[in-house]
Structures are given as structure tokens and as C-alpha cells.
Amino acid sequence: MMALKPVDKKSNPGLAKLPTDVRNKMGYAKKGGDTKFIQKAIKKPGALHEQMGVPKGKKIPAKALAKAAKAPGKLGQRARFAQLLKGFKKGKK
């Protein structure tokens, strides 16, 4: 995932005049930023469990998740997103 660049008005004064949607497409950060972007990205909680046939409350095995991540379509998208979220786990050493 690419980190967003801050808008530097001194070195590039014309950039601040661009519309925000154009700046965002160029990879420049929005002012303020959304603090709950991950929560908003999860549109259908439990859909991956349902697709894979794993009961809610049980963990999806890592091997099964890795296999599903290679699948095309929504199953693959959801599995790859789950792998990404797995890396954000708090208290991980």
C-alpha cells in the first residue's frame, strides 16, 4: 500500500489550487483524513466466513485463507483483505 504524500505548498504552490479529488488520485493526503477508514471498508462482516463454510466465531485456518486469496472474484478479494487486516493486529510482537 502506497503512503500518501503531504501537500507541500512551498515547493509546489500550484498543487494546492487543484481540486481535492485530483490531488487524491495523485497520491496526496487529504486534510484531516478519515480515522475509521478500515471500519468503513468492511461492508459485509461475516461474508468470508459464510463463503468459506467456516462457522462465525471460529478462526479461518491460515492455509485455507492463503488458498482462498488466490481465488478470483469476491472470495479472493475478501481473503486478501482479511490477510491485510491480520497484519494490523494489536499487541503483535
Residue ranges per structural domain of the chain: 38-86
User: Which class for 78: exposed (0-12), middle (13-18), buried (19 or more C-beta within 10 A)?
Assistant: buried
Other Cβ atoms less than 10 A from the Cβ of 79: the count is 22
In tens digits, what is the pLDDT along the chain, a chain of 93 residues?
A: 455 556 555 666 666 666 666 666 666 555 666 677 778 888 899 999 999 999 999 999 999 999 999 999 999 999 999 998 888 777 655
- Orientation angle between helical segments 73-86 and 62-69, nearest 10 degrees: 130
Its pTM stands at 0.58
For residue 66, give the C-alpha cell.
492463503
